[in-house]
Amino acid sequence: MAASGRVLGRAMSASPCSAWRQARWTAQGRLKPEYDAVVIGAGHNGLVADEGGPVSPQAAYLQRLGVNTAVFERRHVIGGAAVTEEIIPGFKFSRASYLLSLLRPQIYTDLELKKHGLRVHLRNPYSFTPMLKEGTKSLLLGMDMAENQKQIAQFSQKDAQAFPKYEAFMNSLALAAEPLLDAAPVDTEAFWQGSLLRRLRSLSALMPLLRAGRILGARLPQYYQVLTAPITKVLDQWFESEPLKATLATDAVIGAMTSPHTPGSGYVLLHHVMGGLEGTRGAWGYVQGGMGALSDAIASSATAHGASIFTEKTVAKVQVSRGGRAQGVVLQDGSEVRSKVVLSNASPQVTFLQLLPQERLPEEFVERISRLDCRSPVTKINVAVDRLPDFSAAPNAPGGQPLPHHQCSIHLNCEDTHLLQQAFEDAMDGRPSHKPMIELCIPSSLDPSLAPPGCHVVSLFTQYTPYTLAGGRVWDEQERNAYADQVFACIEAYAPGFQASVLGRDILMPPDLERIFGLPGGNIFHCAMTLDQLYFARPVPLHSSYRCPVPGLYLCGSGAHPGGGVMGAAGRNAARVVFGDLKSM
């Protein structure tokens, strides 16, 4: 327990807010014995498919296209990892995912999410890195480039001059990658084994690659380096000051069991700069009411077009016909639901190793799925506090109202890339990091509805923590609280008084993220975003087009192209593939 004596080690039971949401979605329709399409899991990608994505954009897209769709969610609340839960009375937390930027803009428009209640608070400034040793020194970055240069100049005039060029370079790479996000990868299997129609269709998937190549032009070698090199090598070519390099490097390792010195870590950074909000490229924001409000908006759009969403309905297995085609699902209560197609928003591991009869799958395919890298460094800690953190580098206002830096992603233990490397090495030795990388966010600084007056909700995205501790030890209560106490001690060093402000906490180690949200190994991307598990090879080579070895079964979650984050692209792309296949049936 922390020194305050008021800390809760476990989450409390579901709130009245959660119970209301359950009643809302189970009331959308009675379970029928047959649908055109069934979606496993009401994560945002699954919901998008209904209309056409993670609260199931697939459900949203398919229903809009006239495909009668049902979504089955095992939890009492929809949204997968994009949920709002009142785990401490009076405090509403984005319990897992906590920021929005990557959601594809077409989904906003197609699903009319604003009409269905989505509101977003843009953050500006967006990044705050206080210095521990320098006392009052910090690095604050936002949308004002001139102000950014002033901030960076504290550490290096050279870096201040280089920063606008670096930003333009990264934006150009993100722009080139965008065509690849919104289309299925080239169906390499079709070239070798597909029908003439599938071969012709696969040729159209070459167009996004050609568009990306045209945008890059002469920058292609630099793009290749960002994809394949350690992010430290890339940043060292641009900058000399450690606070700036370490702050930028956090986006290259966040959620990934990699260090800044790991080859390919540059792609993870690129993945996190591809988004935008309200027409502002690269912007990140808080969803009004928490991330569950995004899932609710997608679900509202889906159900408005006739989709049915059921909570507390666990899919036990995918039914496969004698001819080897997916023909529906069997629920845990024994109910059988038939369908023409099945879309799985679950991870590849759950979909193929738990929900399907293994004899229906090629042995080599099963082996590849079982070998997917799903290691996770993440422990998420949700904290209720009775006042704002008071950082030594930027003291609070006399009245206690939020200041600009309180709305940022606040990076702690991130003023030097060597700190990030050491934290990674600790975890690789089976130990939680002694000085973990901490991304601290205070969404109630912009959305006061999340907490009682004067109080705040604090999101701590921390790493690195191994799934299993050295010696085979597991994360028992003592180990969990010891790590959380270490994280709080680190925050206390930057913001004295933080520990005394804590009213309660919810600790989610990698095994908890796996158990509660179905994230294999606790991995927020379902499987690592490494070069051997991207595009043509996501989740495995020859099966990257959302189709699976079992006809009629499609993968539509973060384990499919283009990967994780609250993006919705996998759901939207999968829905298009499914609709095309249904038309040709």
Write down the pLDDT at residue 196. Answer: 61
- Residue 273 above 70 pLDDT? yes
Is 229 within 8 Å of 263 (Cβ atoms)? yes
Write down the pLDDT at residue 44. Answer: 59
Write down the pLDDT at residue 32. Answer: 93
Tokens of 328: 């529906």
Phi-psi region at 29: left, alpha or beta (left = phi > 0; alpha = psi -120 to 50) = left
Q: What are phi and psi of 243, to 5 degrees?
A: -60, -40
Side-chain half-sphere of 437: how many Cα atoms within 13 Å? 35
- Residue 15 above 70 pLDDT? no
- Residue 312 above 80 pLDDT? yes
Mean pLDDT of 131-143: 90
C-alpha 426/C-alpha 431 separation (Å) is 5
pLDDT more than 70, % of the chain = 89
Q: What are phi and psi of 404, to 5 degrees?
A: -50, -40
- Residue 303 above 70 pLDDT? yes
Query: Model confidence over 151-202: pLDDT tens digits?
Result: 999 999 999 999 999 999 998 888 888 888 888 887 666 655 656 666 666 6
Question: How much is the pTM?
Answer: 0.90
- Helix (H) or strand (E) holding 382, with range, is strand 378-385
Beta bridge partners of 277: 280
- Helix (H) or strand (E) holding 277, with range, is strand 276-277
C-alpha 516/C-alpha 523 separation (Å) is 12
Instruction: Please work out, in degrees rounded to the nearest 5, the angle formed at the alpha carbon of residue 33 by the alpha carbons of 28 and 38.
Output: 65
Query: Model confidence over 410-430: pLDDT tens digits?
Result: 999 999 999 999 999 999 999
DSSP code per residue over 527-551: S---GGGSGGGSSSTT--SSB-SST
C-alpha 191/C-alpha 185 separation (Å) is 13
Q: Which domains does the chain have, with CATH numbers?
A: 34-121+288-372+520-583 (3.50.50.60), 162-240+252-281 (no CATH), 377-466+468-508 (no CATH)
Residue 364's SS3 state is helix
Mean pLDDT of 84-94: 95
Tokens of 511: 């095994």
* Helix segments in 387-469, DSSP class H: 417-428
Mean pLDDT of 453-474: 95
In angstroms, what CA-CA distances link 498 with 3, 321, 443, 493? 11, 58, 17, 9
